[in-house]
Amino acid sequence: MSSELERRTAIIVALRCGRAPKEIIDFFKFPKATVYSIAKSFKESEDIEEGFLTPERKTPDRSQGQNVNKEVYLDVMQTVVKNG
């Protein structure tokens, strides 16, 4: 394995174990930029897996449906009254 791959693997394993990037930097003596870059990518991939980046479902606008129903109701009532 290349040293870059070993470094990346060690960082990801530490992140999965709940270690903070600062702890990883202090323990392994890895460059800050490397650890924070990998931590950011790891966090983004976790968010995608958990569905945080999927759009929320739209809820129907019920106010329009009620207005249409009221209009239909009034039309029906007027027709009933006229034809009585």
What would the pLDDT profile of 1-15 be if each residue is shown by its tens digit?
A: 678 889 999 999 999
Residue 53's pLDDT band, with cuts at 50, 70 and 90, is very low
pLDDT of residue 51: 57
Who's near 10: CB < 8 A, 6+ residues apart? 24, 28
CA distance 8 to 5: 5
Question: Contact 21/38 with Cβ under 8 angstroms?
Answer: no
What is residue 18's three-state secondary structure? coil
Q: What is the pTM of this model?
A: 0.55
What would the pLDDT profile of 9-45 be if each residue is shown by its tens digit?
A: 999 999 989 999 999 999 999 999 999 999 999 988 8
pLDDT of residue 82: 80
